[in-house]
């Protein structure tokens, strides 16, 4: 019985590692496409700073991600801007916001190209 539990736990761990690597590489590729260091996706807080830069938002917006409730709204705005920066629709931006684990790989592994920050952004 113990061997069965260990085997299932080991298999589960392998699946978690595979999913983590898949998402990590997708984020790395997305950052690289946007012209920011791909390795930045691995550094906490710095990756949020780079996400803001990809969206064309100022770096101090990272602080807004710390404020409860405000962070949800700011994350939506930045996700919409990232979608526009890759010439995607607002619906795609909402997908990045709500289902990033699906939409980040679409940008990272797909044929999307970075077109730069959206010109109608607010600073």
Q: Are 94 and 76 in contact (CB under 8 A)?
A: yes
Nearest-angstrom CA–CA distance, 120 and 99 = 25
Average pLDDT over residues 70-82: 96
Calculate what percentage of the chain has a pLDDT beyond 90. 87
pTM of the model: 0.86
Residues 6+ apart with CB under 8 A from 42: 24, 28
Please tell me the predicted confidence (pLDDT) of residue 107: 95
Average pLDDT over residues 52-81: 95
Please tell me the predicted confidence (pLDDT) of residue 81: 95
- Return the ∠ at Cα 51 (arms to 62 and 96), rounded to 5°: 110
Average pLDDT over residues 100-119: 90
Closest CA to 85 of 56, 61, 42: 56
Average pLDDT over residues 92-108: 95
């Amino acid at each position: 019985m113990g061997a069965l539990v260990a085997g299932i736990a080991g298999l589960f761990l392998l699946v978690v590692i595979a999913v983590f690597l898949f998402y990590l590489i997708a984020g790395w590729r997305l950052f690289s496409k946007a012209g920011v260091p791909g390795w930045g996706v691995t550094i906490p807080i710095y990756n949020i700073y780079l996400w803001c830069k990809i969206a064309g938002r100022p770096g101090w917006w990272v602080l807004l991600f710390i404020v409860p409730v405000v962070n949800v709204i700011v994350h939506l705005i930045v996700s919409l801007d990232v979608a526009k920066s890759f010439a995607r629709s607002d619906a795609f931006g909402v997908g990045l916001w709500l289902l990033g684990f699906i939409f980040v790989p679409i940008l990272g592994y797909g044929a999307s190209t970075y077109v730069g920050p959206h010109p109608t952004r607010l600073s």
